[in-house]
Chain A
C-alpha cells in the first residue's frame, strides 16, 4: 500500500496544474469537474492509507532513497501512522466538502479559487503524512501561500485585504521561526528526517540549542494553531474569507499547527526531554487554558457571525492543546476526537453562515435579527451544531472533552477540567445567543457590548440552496455522531499511543522493521466517567444560561448590571484594545509570547 502514499498530495496538485493549463481552453464546467475529481481522489486515497496505517505505519522513500550507511536517512520519507493519516483524511475530506459547496456558492474567479483550494488540500495532506522536518516546512508554506490568497479573495473591500495582510505577515513570521528551529536541529544532528533527529538527540541532556529549537518550533506552529498570544490573526482572516474557505481554516488548518507540535515533540524532543516532560507540559497547559478562556470571552463580544465562530475556534484549539500538552495517550486521543468533531461541526456552522449570507445578504447578528425565522431548518441545524460543540453528553465533541478530562485526572491535575468546562460553555453561549437572535428573534436589536465590524457582500453566484444545505447537513451529522460512533474513541486512542511511541517510529522509519499489528480495539461506544458527564451537562447549562443573560441583560436588576459593568468593563476594554487589527501589534505579541515561553523553558529545562 505504500505506493499510494504520495497520492493524496499528488492528485490535487496535478489536478490544479491541469486546471491552470487548460484554463482558457476547457469549458468551465469541465474545469470544475476536474477540481471535484481531484479532491475526491485525494480523499479516497487518504482513507485507504488510513485503513492500511492502522495495521502498519506506511512508509515510502521518495526517489527510492532508502536509508543506508549506518541508518542515515538520505531521502525524504512519507511515514503515515494513523494519527497523520487521520489528519490527512480530515483535510482532504473537508476540502472535498468545500469544493462541492463552492460549486454552488461562488462564481467570481472560480478557476483560480478551485486551483488554490486543491493546492491547499494537497499541502495539508503532505504535511500530515511526511516524516521529514524540512518537507513539513515546504508543505506548511504551500498551505500558507494558498491560504493567504484565499483569505484576500474579495479584493474590492479593505477588510479582506487587512485580514489577508495580518494573516500573511503573522504566519510568515511563524514560518521563519520554524525554519530557524529546523536549522538549529540540523546543526546539532546533521539530519532532516524526524526519526533520525530524534535518534541523534536521544540520551543527551537538552542544552540551549535544543531548548530554543523547541521554543521556536512550538511557537511557530502555535501561531498557525491560533493559540494565544499568537492567535490575533485568525479572527481577522475568518471574518473576511468566504464561508467555504473558513470551513477549511477552522476545520483543519489550525489542526495542522497542533499536529506540527505533536509530531515534533514525540519524534524529536521526547528523546532528550522525557525526563522533564512535566516542565514542557506546564507551559503548554497554561497556554492552552489561557487560550481557551480568552477565545471564549472574545467570542461572546462579537456580532459578526464568522468572527464569533473564529474566536470559538480559538477557544477549542486551546482545549485541544491542553489535551496534547498532557502528553499521555488518553488526552492526545481526546484532543484528536475533539478536533475531529470540531472540524466537522464548526465547518457546518460556517456553511450555515454562508447560506445566511446568500439568503439575507448579511452576516451581522444584530442586522439579521429575527430574519432567520423563515428558514427554520437552517435554525435547527445551527442549534444542533452549537450543541455539538458544547459537549452535551454523547453529542458531538463530548467524547473528546471527556477523554481530555479523564487524562487530566489520571495525571493528578484537577483544576483544569472546570476551567475547560467554563470555556466550552462560554464560547457555545455566544453561538447560542447569536442563533437565538437570528433564528428566534429574541433579544433587543441593539447591543453596545458587541463590536461593530464591516459587513460582507454576498458572492455573485446564484446558489442552489438544496446543494448548499446538503453539504452542510452532511458535515453536521458526521460531527454529531463522533461521540457515539462505535469503536472510534478506542481506535483514536490507539492511534495516539502509536504517535507517542518514538522507539517504534524510529525502528520503522530508519530500519524498515515491520512491527506486529496491534490488537484490534473493541467496536463499541466508549464509556466515559461520571465526572465527564457532569462536566458536559455543566457546560451546556453555562451555555444556555449565559446566552440568556446575553440576550436579556436589560431585565437584570440595575445593581447587578452596574456591578458587572464595573468589574468586567476595564478588562474587556483592555482585551479589545489588544485585538486592534494592526499587524505591528500582532507581531509584537508574537515576539512577547515567544520570549516568555522560551524564557520559562530556559529556566525550567536546563
Chain B
C-alpha cells in the first residue's frame, strides 16, 4: 500500500512516454506530454504526504499540528503553470502546422531530415 502511489506515478509516466512516441496526432501528443507531467505531480505530492497530516493551512488550527509538506505543493503549482504554457505553445504550433501542411500527423511532417 505504501508503494502504490509511486507505482502509479511510474505507470503514468510510462504511458505518457509511450503515447508521445507512438502518437499520430499532434494534439494527442500534447496531451501525452500533459500525462507525463501529471506523473511528476503524483510523485511530488506523494513524497510530501505525512500520515494523519492535515492541510498546511493554520486558520483556526493550532500550530504544531501534523500537516503535510507545503513545499511540494508549491512546486506542483509551479509545475502546473509551466506545463500549461508549454502545451499552449505546442497547440499553437499544431494549429499552424495544420494550416500550412494540411496534416497534424507528426509522422507525415517531414520537411527536414538527414
Binding site for B on A (CB under 8 A): 134, 138, 141, 144-145, 148-149, 152, 155-159, 161-165, 168-169, 172-173, 175-176, 179-180, 183, 186-187, 192, 235-236, 239-240, 301-302, 307, 451, 453-454, 576, 579-584, 587-588, 591
Contact = CB atoms under 8 A, between A and B. Distances in A.
A584 B44 contact: no
Given A138-B78, A186-B72, A579 B21 contact: no
B31 interface: no
A156 B101 CA distance: 10
B22 interface: yes
B47 A239 contact: no
B89 A141 contact: no
A172 B100 contact: no
Given A158-B101, A183-B44, A591-B17, A169 B89 contact: no
B86 A145 contact: yes
Contact of B97 (A158, A172, A587): A158
Contacts of A236: 112
B79 A179 contact: yes
A233 to B, nearest CB: 11
A210 B37 CA distance: 21
Given A152-B93, A157-B111, A581-B112, 9 more contacts: A162-B97, A169-B29, A176-B37, A179-B40, A180-B43, A183-B43, A186-B44, A579-B114, A581-B109
A228 to B, nearest CB: 15
Contacts of A175: 82
B21 A172 contact: no
24 contacts: A141-B82, A141-B86, A145-B89, A156-B100, A158-B109, A161-B93, A161-B96, A161-B97, A169-B20, A172-B33, A172-B86, A173-B36, A176-B13, A183-B40, A183-B44, A186-B71, A186-B72, A302-B114, A451-B114, A454-B112, A581-B111, A582-B107, A583-B106, A587-B20
Q: Most chain-A CB neighbours within 10 Å: which of B36, B37, B89, B111?
A: B111
Contact of B112 (A169, A453, A588): A453
Contacts of B113: 451, 576, 579-582
A148 B89 contact: yes
A546 to B, nearest CB: 19
Given A176-B36, A183-B44, A163 B112 contact: yes
A187 B9 CA distance: 14
A562 to B, nearest CB: 23
A166 to B, nearest CB: 9
Contacts of A157: 100, 111
A240 B94 CA distance: 17
B107 A584 contact: yes
Q: Most chain-A CB neighbours within 10 Å: which of B47, B86, B94?
A: B86
B75 interface: yes
Contacts of B47: 183, 186-187
B89 A168 contact: yes
A168 B93 contact: yes
Majority DSSP secondary structure for residues of B touching A: helix
Nearest to B114: A451
Interface string B88-106: 0110011011001100001
Contact of B110 (A187, A235, A580, A591): A580
B85 interface: yes
Contacts of A162: 97, 109-112
B26 interface: yes
Contacts, number: 128
Q: Most chain-B CB neighbours within 10 Å: which of A134, A155, A161, A301?
A: A161
Contact of B93 (A141, A145, A165, A183): A165
Contacts of A591: 17, 21
A176 B17 CA distance: 11
B67 interface: no
Q: Most chain-A CB neighbours within 10 Å: which of B17, B82, B93, B107?
A: B93
B22 A584 contact: yes
Interface string B50-84: 00000000000000000000011001001100100
Nearest to A141: B82
B32 to A, nearest CB: 9
Contacts of B37: 176
A504 B72 CA distance: 29
Contact of B20 (A141, A173, A239, A307): A173
Contacts of A148: 86, 89
A454 B40 contact: no
B86 A582 contact: no
A435 B87 CA distance: 40
The 3 closest A-B pairs by CB, nearest first: A451-B114, A581-B113, A576-B114
Contacts of A579: 113-114
B21 A588 contact: yes
Contacts of A580: 110, 113
A395 to B, nearest CB: 31
Given A165-B97, A173-B20, A581 B110 contact: yes
A582 B96 contact: no
Nearest to B18: A591
Contacts of B43: 180, 183
Contacts of A173: 17, 20, 33, 36
B100 A161 contact: yes
B83 to A, nearest CB: 9
Contacts of A240: 112
A161 B106 CA distance: 11
A169 B33 contact: yes
B15 to A, nearest CB: 13
A165 B100 contact: no
B4 to A, nearest CB: 16
